[in-house]
Amino acid sequence: MSEYSAPVRDMRFVLEHLAHLDDVASIDEWSHASVDDFAAVLEESGKFMAEVVAPTNAESDRIGAKWVDGEVVTPPFFADMWRKTCEAGWNSVGAPAEYGGGGMPTVALTPLSEMLAAANASFSMLPGLTTGAVEMLDAWADDEQKNTYLPKMISGEWSGTMNLTEPEAGSDVGALRTAAVKQDDGSYLISGTKIYISFGEHDLTENIIHLVLARTPDAPPGTKGISCFIVPKFLVNEDGSLGERNDVTCVSIEHKLGITSSPTCVLSFGENGGAVGYLIGEENRGMKYMFTMMNNARLAVGIAGVGIADRAYQHAVQWAQDRVQGRPIGAAADVNVPIIEHADVRRMLLTMRSQVEASRALSYLNGAAIDLGRRHPDEAERERWQHLAELLTPVTKAWSTDVGVEVCSTAIQVFGGMGFIEETGIAQNWRDERIQPIYEGTNGIQALDLIGRKLPLGGGAPINALLTQVKELADEVEALGDGWALSAANLRDATAAWEKATWWIFEHGVQDPVDAAAGATPYLKLFGTVFGGYLLARSAVVAAKLLAGDGYDDPRFLEDKQTTARFYCEQLLPQAGGLVGAVTAGKQSLFGIPADRF
Ligand SMILES: Cc1cc2nc3c(=O)[nH]c(=O)nc-3n(C[C@H](O)[C@H](O)[C@H](O)COP(=O)(O)OP(=O)(O)OC[C@H]3O[C@@H](n4cnc5c(N)ncnc54)[C@H](O)[C@@H]3O)c2cc1C
């Protein structure tokens, strides 16, 4: 069974036709690279992931990360794989060019993150977190800090971590207690315990740069009193060489359901007087700074959801093509066929395929919106894209990962009994995928963010614009001709459902926020389901135009794209209507049973 093959053709199609790669590539900063250049990078990266990283996936799951006397040992082949990844530049393609990175836009980075997560989800955490830390330092650190840390983090000699979570501060980050006390020399002494810190300790880089949220003695309570510090594992001398070991230790690592070789660490700061930390920016503004890293991580987690799901889909297809079982309805008794010939197996495969393609399109569009929101030369356009990026981020994070878990579970179903047997490897995808809806703000928290902060953006203009865009596409879908009437009708119905649910949230969010919060998760699902359908329907319209011309080299890809879109519109879009009831039911039945009677 082939381990993983990067879906480069679909990635390129999405970048070019749905995710505005042309618009991004026309911006000064990125105008040196053409769409073909980006496509060449995709090909090269796909080859690297398939040949170097993907074959290690099962073995790294079996071996896992080990804690030995405060040190963490990763699988033996990780060091070589990390070296090759850094030498090829795949850890730093999006990092700022002035410090040695590739300087590529976020949208071009999204497929690379997808490939890396698909190839080895555990391993992908190291470059993923380091990329986020680099972006955060580049945005908020001073020049001296940038010069000290960025070049080595970008080269892969040092890695980065994100230290938010504490035993009493999970979703409620504002409850954190780690303390930071200012010293005469301007540095701070940090003390406290952080839990679940991914790659908080490991043997792959010579230094680890922890970005730590902590509270100064007189800080106001909650998120308004949080500051952000750079706490290196080894202090850095003025000449850039490594100095003393800092006062931060890895007390233990977790034994987990999945991503077993990504060490999830309990870190203790200041057991011997205090770990030396350096303030980023100003005191009490740490949450704002950390949001740069968290938004990056939310998009990255959504994309990892797509990548792992795609790997599971690819394996399910191979299994369904090979496994011979049963005969087609009405065939002679001695005719046995591969299970892919059965209608129900096709339903499973097309459900997975269309969900992967829809969530891929959503994530890449989100990446482009981030780029255009930061760099578009026109201020009004910049604001429009920025709002879209903010609106889509919780949906990309939560919908792509919820759908990803569903896809991985369906893949197990396609394998039948062998899906439940670890030896086939299909269950690992589900185990690795299952963390994605939990970390980086649980999907429940994303749904609250969507209805509470993102829908009201710009007085509701961004969500209104999306609703209008989706409504308008239905006519174009209908114009595709024979066989598309049902898809167009379903798109209209689904958009009406989305609109109704949206206005209900707006109205009730003001009257009774708990009523609106009660419908937040079904609302996010409805949003993702309809907008995912819109993106696939748009693919079908684009495919029709390309098929009508004669320049496309693989018409079968376009025909299959259309069939996948049509399946989604006919069979999955109608679920949207069924979600309105859950969105608009309010809190009543949820709070009907007192907590102690559950
Ligand atoms: C493998 C792994 C790796 C991780 N890596 C990192 C890392 O590198 N750095 C880091 O800082 N953290 C990391 N985390 C922590 C992760 O981000 C948290 O686990 C996550 O944010 C949830 O916090 P919690 O576990 O305390 O759950 P809780 O906050 O206790 O939530 C439990 C449940 O209650 C719900 N809930 C909580 N509050 C509310 C609310 N106000 N309204 C509605 N529902 C609510 C949640 O949605 C969830 O379903 C990692 C965790 C794991 C498991």
Residue nearest to atom 37 of ligand 1 (CA): 171
CA atoms within 13 Å, Cβ hemisphere of 148: 21
22-31, 261-270, 274-283: range with lowest mean pLDDT = 22-31
- pLDDT tier at 478 (50, 70, 90 boundaries)? very high
How much is the pLDDT for 60?
97
Atom of ligand 1 nearest to the CA of 256: 1
What does the alpha-carbon distance between residue 374 and residue 40 come to, in Å, rounded to a whole number? 25
Say which DSSP state 7 is in: -
Closest residue by Cα to residue 455 from 500, 493, 503, 494:
503
How much is the pLDDT for 33?
76
Ligand 1: list residues with CB < 6 Å. Answer: 162-165, 170-171, 196-198, 256, 264, 435, 438-442, 444-445, 448
- pLDDT tier at 245 (50, 70, 90 boundaries)? very high
Closest residue by Cα to residue 295 from 197, 89, 441, 464:
441
Q: What percent of the chain has pLDDT over 90?
A: 93
CA of 406 to the centre of ligand 1 (A): 20
How far is Cα of residue 45 from the mean position of the Cα atoms in its chain? 18
- Ligand 1 pocket: which of 130, 131, 171, 209 to mutate (most atoms <8 Å of CB)? 171
How much is the pLDDT for 510?
84
CA of 597 to the centre of ligand 1 (A): 25
Tokens of 243: 């100095």
User: Which positions are catalytic?
Assistant: 440
Closest residue by Cα to residue 396 from 371, 370, 369, 363:
363
The predicted-structure confidence for 22-43, as pLDDT tens digits, reads as follows 999 999 988 877 888 888 999 9
Q: What pTM, to 2 d.p., does this model score?
A: 0.97
Residue nearest to atom 50 of ligand 1 (CA): 196
How much is the pLDDT for 38?
87
1-10, 175-184, 194-203: range with lowest mean pLDDT = 1-10
Q: Are 328 and 342 in contact (CB under 8 A)?
A: yes
What does the alpha-carbon distance between residue 337 and residue 316 come to, in Å, rounded to a whole number? 16
